[in-house]
Structure formats: structure tokens, C-alpha cells
Amino acid sequence: MNAENVRQVLAVQRLEFRKRFLGKRAIPVYLLTLIPLALFGGRAVAVLLFKIHDFSLAQDRVIYAAIYRTLILRFVLYFGCVAIFVPLFRGDILDRSLHYYFLAPVKRSTLTLAKYFSGLAASLILFNAVTLATWMFLYLAGGANVLFDQLGSFHGLSELAGYLLVTSLACVGYGAVFLAAGVLLKNPIVPALAILGWEAINALLPPVLKKVSVIHYLESLLPVSIPPSSGIQILADPASPWVAIPGILALAAVLVTIAVKRVRRLEVLYGVE
């Protein structure tokens, strides 16, 4: 890749960043990210100011783990990635502006990768910020000293790093899934819901089928385990990090390769899209 190619990739990313952060399609993503922020922020304020709940480090940590798993990972991150990655190509087709990219002297493979990485950067920034903020709100509810203790301890930092790692890998995996869905399918919403259903029943699936999902590997990496008494479906057969991390990266690589191959043959046919 020469300097000209680098400038081209950066030009794609500038245009995409503007769309991802400033375009009208960014609104649903911001609304999604507000849900956990409002929940944990509101809780921190309620505990600190109105003392409506006694802070318990061990208990609240488990509550956060449960909410991260159900709300942040399975809902906010999932639909956030739908909203960021599906429109990378599908949005340009609907806006009838994809041809401006295709009329540039950029290889379709380079264009696809540049778009994927711009979506990835946007999602990493947004969702890691949400993860970081909600985690800090969790401990802030116990007081600033509790938060600083966590930030100053290996245990606390490794827990935070674990959540950030899961968030980042979710962006990589779901991003690749929805990039491919956006270029392969005219209406990716139905498959998005189908995949969500598949991910939701993952814990009920036989071990072989469990491994054919993103959530299985992500939940295997969560830093805090949830006791069976919580009523939340517990991962019975977690994958080791040595399997989970390369597994998600490999899945993403395969899906991005499929997307590249499709984009190479993609035609501008706005009238029939």
C-alpha cells in the first residue's frame, strides 16, 4: 500500500466517520448508548444522593455482570452494530450515493476494508466509552473512594479490561456479521432479528451448535461469573480465551472476505434496490 492508497483509505474513513457520528443514522445508536448510561448514571445518583440502595461491592458487581450480559452485550451492542455496520453499503445504496465511492480509483477490496474499519473505529469508540462509563458509574455508587480503589487495583483493572475486551470483540464480530448482511441482503433487518433469536437461545443449544455463534465466545470471556441462582442462563461449556479470541477474529475475517467478494461484483442498481 503506497502513500496514495493510504490517503484514499483516510478519505473513505473521513466520509464514513462524518456519517457514523453526525449523520441521521447515528441517532438510533446514540439513543441505544443512552439506555445503559441513564440506567447506571441514574443509579449512581440515586444511591449517592438519595441513599435508596445500599451499595454492596460483591452484589453490585454481579448485578453489573448480569446487566452487561443482557442489556449492553445482547441489546445495545448488538443493535448498535446493526445500526453502524449495515448502512456501510446498504445506507449508501438507499441514499443513492454509493456510486461516488465506485467512481473513485479505489480497489473494491480496499473500499470494503476501509468502510469496515471506519465502522469498527466508530463502534469501538462509542461502545467502549459506554462500557467504561457504566463500569465507573457502578463503583461510583459506592463513593469516589470505591471507584478509585477499583481503578488502582489489579483486580479492578483486569475486570474493566475484561469488559472492554468483550466489547471490542463484539464490535469486531457483530460488525463483520452486519457488514456482510448489508452487502449480501437487500433487507438485513429480518436476518438481524433471526441472528438475535439464535444468539438468545444459544444457552439452550447442544454444545456443537453453541459454537456457531458470536455470543458463545463473548460470554466465555466475561470477567465476572453470574451465580446459577440469578435465573439468567449460564454458560455451561465456556470456550477458553485461546479459542474464543481467535475464533471471533477468524469468524470476522471470513465474513469480511465474503463481503469483499460480493462488493467486487456489486453493481449500482438503485432503481431495483
Partner 1 sequence: MIVFDNISKFYGEVLGVNRITLSIGPGITSLVGPNGSGKTTLMNLVTGLLLPTRGRLSVLGIAPDRPELLMKKVGYCTQYDSFPPGLTGYEFVQATLALHGLTAADARTKAGQAIAKVGLQEAAGRRVAGYSKGMRQRIRLAQAIAHDPEVVVLDEPLNGLDPMARAETIALFQALAKEGRYVLLSSHILHEVDLLSDRVVLVHHGYVVAEGDIPGVRDEIHERPAQVLLRCDRPSLVASRIFELDSAVEIKIHEDGKGLLVHTRDAEKFYLLVNRLVLEHGLDLEAVSPADEDVQAVYRYLIEGEGPSS
Q: Note the residues at the interface with partner 1 (CB under 8 A).
A: 4-5, 7-8, 10-12, 14-15, 18-19, 22-24, 95-97, 99-108, 110, 264-265, 267-270, 272
Q: How far is the CB of 192 from partner 1 (least distance, A)?
A: 23
Nearest to 96 by CA among 269, 263, 260: 269
Query: Among all chains, which residue has been given the C-alpha cell 441517532?
Result: 27
Tell me whether residue 86 or residue 251 sits nearer to partner 1 (CB atom): 86
**Residues 6 or more apart whose Cβ sits within 8 Å of residue 34:** none
Q: How far is the CB of 6 from partner 1 (least distance, A)?
A: 8
| Burial degree of 109 (CB within 10 A; 0-12, 13-18, 19+) | middle
Tell me whether residue 104 or residue 253 sits nearer to partner 1 (CB atom): 104
Q: How far is the CB of 191 from partner 1 (least distance, A)?
A: 22
Return d(Cα 11, Cα 267) in angstroms, integer: 22
Q: How far is the CB of 105 from partner 1 (least distance, A)?
A: 4
Tell me whether residue 106 or residue 239 sits nearer to partner 1 (CB atom): 106
Tell me whether residue 1 or residue 58 sits nearer to partner 1 (CB atom): 1
Tell me whether residue 155 or residue 264 sits nearer to partner 1 (CB atom): 264
Q: How far is the CB of 173 from partner 1 (least distance, A)?
A: 28
Tell me whether residue 92 or residue 159 sits nearer to partner 1 (CB atom): 92
Q: How far is the CB of 269 from partner 1 (least distance, A)?
A: 7
Give the three-class secondary structure for 97: coil
Nearest to 203 by CA among 244, 165, 232, 241: 232
Q: How far is the CB of 255 from partner 1 (least distance, A)?
A: 23
User: Cell numbers at residue 10, please?
Assistant: 483516510
Looking at this protein, which amino acid is placed at residue 270?
Y
Nearest to 85 by CA among 174, 19, 196, 178: 178
Quick count: other Cβ atoms within 10 Å of Cβ 153?
Answer: 11
Looking at this protein, which amino acid is placed at residue 223?
P
Tell me whether residue 4 or residue 237 sits nearer to partner 1 (CB atom): 4
User: Cell numbers at residue 192, please?
Assistant: 438481524
Query: Among all chains, which residue has been given the C-alpha cell 438507499?
Result: 94
The one-character DSSP state at 221 is T
